[in-house]
Structure formats: structure tokens, C-alpha cells
Structure 1
Amino acid sequence: MVSFLQIVLLALGIAKIIIFAHFILSWLINFQVLNLRQPVVAQIWYGLQRVLEPIYEPIRRFLPQMGGVDLSPLVALFAIYAVEIIIRNNLPAFV
């Protein structure tokens, strides 16, 4: 059981890295540091979009419209951190 929870923590850590990468890339694209006409940037951007859209879409349904500001990555990160805290606090019970 402990190994399974450690694998879940690893997957959550990878999810956090992917969300942070998507967040930073979106800022770089919006401030025109990077351009979606560059093939590598476009591949990375659309790949991250395909991975993260199933996570963001249910969150967006519950969040109110914020006038172009998307808070779904922040809510997703908050949820990931909450799950990590719950697992880490209950991990000694399984040892």
C-alpha cells in the first residue's frame, strides 16, 4: 500500500510540473516572447493543451467567468497540493 501511495505522489508531482510548464508557456506566448508559428512551440503548446484540457474543463464549469482570466490551473494546483497533504499525513498509518 505504501508503494502505491508513493506512486500516486510521483504522478501528482509530474502533474504539477506539467501544469507549471503550461502556465509559464501561456505567459510567454501572451507576452509574445514565444510564437505559436514556431513548430516546436506549437507542438509543445498543443500537446500540453490536449493533456490538461480534461482536467481544466470540469473546473471551468464550476468557476464563474472572470473576464478572460482562467483560474482553472490555480484550482487544479490547489487540489493537487490538498491531495498530497492528505496522503502524506496518512502515509505513516499505512507503514
Structure 2
Amino acid sequence: MIALVQILAMLAQALSMIIIVWFVIGLLFAFNVVGRDNMFLMQVYTSIESLLSPLLNPIRRIMPDTGAIDFSPMILLLGINALIIILQNLAYA
């Protein structure tokens, strides 16, 4: 049971890192540090976005519209971390 929880925690941490990379690339595009004509970063960004959209869309439907700022990745990261804590406490109890 502990090994399963550790594997799930590792996968959740990998997902968290993917969310952070996606967010940073989006900031680079938003502040024109990197142009959207950079095909490599654009491919990475759209690939990660297609992976994350099934997780982020339900959160976006529930949350109120805040304009240009999207808080759904932060809510997803908090949810992932909460899930890791709950699973670890259940496994070690």
C-alpha cells in the first residue's frame, strides 16, 4: 500500500511540474519575452495545454470569471498537493 501511494505521489509531483512549466511558458508568451513564432515552445505549450485541459476545464466552469488572470492552475496544484497529503496520511496510519 505504501509503495502504491509513493508511486501516486511521484506521478502527482510530475503533473505539478508540468503545470508549472506550462504556466512559465505562458508567462513568457504573455510578456513577449518569447514570441509565439517560436515553434518549439509553441508546440510544447499546446501539447501540455491539451493534456491539462480535461483537468482545468471543470475548475474553470466552477470558478468565477476573473478576467485575464486564470487561477485554475493554482487550484489544481492545491488539489494535487492536498491529495498527496491525504494519501500519505492514509498509507502511514
TM-score, with structure 2 as normaliser: 0.94
Following the alignment from structure 1 to structure 2, what is the Cα–Cα distance between the partners of residues 71 and 91?
31
Structure 1, residues 12-69: CA drift from partner, whole Å, max 9, x if none? 0001000110111111110011122111111111111111111110000000010121
Q: Does 1:88 align with 2:88?
A: yes
* Percentage of identical aligned residues: 30
SS at match of 1:37: coil
User: Are the counterparts in 2 of residues 35 and 41 from structure 1 also a CA contact under 8 Å?
Assistant: no
Count how many residue pairs are aligned between Structure 1 and Structure 2.
93
Amino acid at match of 1:74: M
Amino acid at match of 2:76: A
TM-score, with structure 1 as normaliser: 0.92
Q: CA deviation at 1:77?
A: 0.5
Following the alignment from structure 2 to structure 1, what is the Cα–Cα distance between the partners of residues 9 and 68?
32
- Residue ranges of structure 1 left out of the alignment (5+ in a row): none
Superposed CA RMSD in Å reads: 0.9
Following the alignment from structure 2 to structure 1, what is the Cα–Cα distance between the partners of residues 65 and 56?
14
Q: How does 1:3-42 map to 2 (within 5 A)?
A: 3-42=3-42
Amino acid at match of 2:2: V
Q: How does 1:59-74 map to 2 (within 5 A)?
A: 59-74=59-74
- The list of structure 1 runs, each at least 4 consecutive aligned residues, that deviate by more than 3 angstroms after superposition, is none
